[in-house]
Amino acid sequence: MAAIPFKQKSFWTDTVVMPAADPAVPLPEAADVAVIGAGFTGLSAARELALHGAKVAVLEAETFGWGASSSNGGMVLTGLKLGVDALLKKYGREAAQRMYAASLKSIDCVEEIVKQEGISCDFRRSGHLEVACKPAHAERFRRMADLTAREFNHRLRFVPGSEIRSEIGSGIYFGGLVDELSAGINPARYVAGLAQAAKRAGAFLYERTAVQHLESGLHQAKKGFRVSTSRGTFWAREVLVATSGYTGKATPALRKKIIPIGSFIIVTEPLPEDLARELSPRDRMIYDSKNFLYYFRLTPDRRMLFGGRAAFFPETSRTIGQSAKILHRGMLSVFPRLRDVKLEYAWGGTLDFTFDILPHAGQLEGLYYALGFAGHGVAMATYLGTKVARLICGERDENPFAGLPFPGAPLGLYNGTPWFLPFVGAWYKFLDWVS
């Protein structure tokens, strides 16, 4: 076992100085829009709103980018968490096609913002690779490639087991599926750049400002919300909830629709160039075909970043420590050559699953929201943040997730405390065993 201890923090946050807000600047008396949460969703929305001339106040309970946005794998992925076959079966051809097309557009959306704002965040279209853990999974990949070409006019390349070594330096997989359109990014640099861009566009950003309570009412004879925060109260005509897996008591109706699930990552010391090239010859964003999956990639400075849903519960010092051990064993099962390589970082973050495993963006009880990215949020959170901002500005912009019913738990058996996670975890492990 490589030497542990490691730093219990996101590697990405060590590569950037996050913009900070002046704590002496008071909250406004009133704003057009209050945005709750300063991650990809909240900041891309704030930028778009400010560019449309709205007076925007972004309220972040911790520091900018503190949530999943600076602690993820930096995989900018096409497709949705829900597979294309399930998407077609459940929503029909037309709706499924629009949702899948949105997933492709979301990558362009990130690329455009990065270019327009000159964000230095190592965005690169190096493609993604899904690897098959069982022969039956490789067969499914072949069918998925055909289905995606036929129904979505999008090319995925099936890689048979005999050729998988051209994509990954591991002997444990039975085939792969490549999408050249996906990209890699340094997420902390990206979210820092988004914060700067929102600020330049004219948004007001407040950190260490937790929203505690929202109350609809009238202000100067106009409908709006009284926004109570840890630093005082103000009025906003509209509110956008962009709190992802950290959605809490201030928005109880939305909290009941989000299941917070932990995801964890370890990062090694930098690898020698030839070893890095051997393990990932095409520098892909890689994930496997299990429900309890592993995802991994090289960082721009050639470290191995290896993540997974090792513990199901959100991040604490204990779950991070346990997960680091599980992930380290997992990493060595994929890449035994990393046995003597040191771990330098381990951390966790919280994912926002919905009960239908789809993202949702729209309005509930008067509050706008964009939530439910389920580990596919780097691109989609940026995209839906931008879309909802345009909706707030009165634009009828196409958004395939707007009209979807947003389900809660069956029989209403959930108030935001996910008591059922151990059972779900056991169920997924069982599925991985039998499927």
Please give the structure tokens belonging to residue 265: 């990552």
Helix, strand, coil percentages (3-state) for the chain, rounded to 5, are: 35, 25, 40
Please give the structure tokens belonging to residue 291: 């429900």
- Among all residues, whose Cβ is closest to ligand FAD? 377
Taking CB under 6 A as the rule, does residue 40 contact ligand FAD? yes
Footprint of ligand FAD on residues 139-178 (CB under 6 A)?
none
**5 C-beta neighbours (distance < 10 Å), count:** 10
Beta bridge partners of 56: 33
User: Residue 249 and residue 211: Cα distance in Å, rounded?
Assistant: 9
Q: Minimum distance between the CB of residue 352 and ligand FAD, rounded to whole angstroms?
A: 7
Contact between 244 and 376 under an 8 Å Cβ cutoff? The reply is no
- Identity (one letter) of the amino acid at 384? L
CA distances from 411 to 207, 208, 407, 415, 431 (A): 37, 36, 11, 11, 24
Among 34, 61, 188, 392, binds ligand FAD (CB under 6 A): 61
Among 141, 204, 225, 246, binds ligand FAD (CB under 6 A): 246
Taking CB under 6 A as the rule, does residue 367 contact ligand FAD? no
Taking CB under 6 A as the rule, does residue 377 contact ligand FAD? yes
* Span near ligand FAD by CB under 6 A; candidates 26-34, 37-45, 111-119, 157-165: 37-45
Taking CB under 6 A as the rule, does residue 73 contact ligand FAD? yes
Among 13, 34, 35, 42, binds ligand FAD (CB under 6 A): 42
Identify the DSSP state of 62: S
Among 375, 386, 391, 401, binds ligand FAD (CB under 6 A): 375
User: Residue 26 and residue 28: Cα distance in Å, rounded?
Assistant: 6
Among 45, 56, 205, 211, binds ligand FAD (CB under 6 A): 211
Q: Minimum distance between the CB of residue 345 and ligand FAD, rounded to whole angstroms?
A: 12
Q: Minimum distance between the CB of residue 117 and ligand FAD, rounded to whole angstroms?
A: 17
User: Residue 176 and residue 129: Cα distance in Å, rounded?
Assistant: 6
Taking CB under 6 A as the rule, does residue 41 contact ligand FAD? yes
Taking CB under 6 A as the rule, does residue 265 contact ligand FAD? yes
Exposure letters 276-294 (e unless 16+ CB within 10 A, then b):
bebbbeebbbbbbbbebbb
Identify the DSSP state of 22: -
Q: Minimum distance between the CB of residue 297 and ligand FAD, rounded to whole angstroms?
A: 8
Q: Minimum distance between the CB of residue 382 and ligand FAD, rounded to whole angstroms?
A: 8
Q: Minimum distance between the CB of residue 434 and ligand FAD, rounded to whole angstroms?
A: 27
Those residues whose C-beta lies under 8 Å from the C-beta of residue 339, and which sit 6 or more positions away, are 2, 332
Taking CB under 6 A as the rule, does residue 67 contact ligand FAD? yes
User: Residue 390 and residue 252: Cα distance in Å, rounded?
Assistant: 25
Beta bridge partners of 245: none
Taking CB under 6 A as the rule, does residue 72 contact ligand FAD? yes
Q: Minimum distance between the CB of residue 215 and ligand FAD, rounded to whole angstroms?
A: 14
Taking CB under 6 A as the rule, does residue 75 contact ligand FAD? yes
Footprint of ligand FAD on residues 297-336 (CB under 6 A)?
307
Residue whose CB is less far from ligand FAD, 267 or 404: 267
Residue whose CB is less far from ligand FAD, 39 or 330: 39
Residue whose CB is less far from ligand FAD, 148 or 263: 263
Collapsing DSSP to helix, strand or coil, 122 comes out as: coil
Phi/psi for 377 (5° steps) reads: -100, -10
Among 77, 188, 331, 346, binds ligand FAD (CB under 6 A): 77
| Nearest-5° Cα angle at 50, 44 to 55 | 125
Taking CB under 6 A as the rule, does residue 350 contact ligand FAD? yes
* Span near ligand FAD by CB under 6 A; candidates 113-121, 197-205, 219-227, 238-246: 238-246
Q: Minimum distance between the CB of residue 107 and ligand FAD, rounded to whole angstroms?
A: 10
| Residue 259 falls in which region: left (phi positive, over 0), alpha (psi -120 to 50) or beta | beta
Indicate the burial class of 297 (C-beta count within 10 angstroms; 0-12, 13-18, 19 or more). buried
Largest CA distance in the chain: 70
Q: How many residues bind ligand FAD (CB under 6 A)?
A: 43
* Span near ligand FAD by CB under 6 A; candidates 106-114, 131-139, 373-381, 416-424: 373-381
Phi/psi for 277 (5° steps) reads: -65, -35
Q: Minimum distance between the CB of residue 195 and ligand FAD, rounded to whole angstroms?
A: 11
Q: Which residues bind ligand FAD (CB under 6 A)?
A: 36-42, 59-62, 66-69, 71-75, 77, 210-211, 242-246, 248, 250, 263, 265, 307, 349-351, 373, 375-379, 381
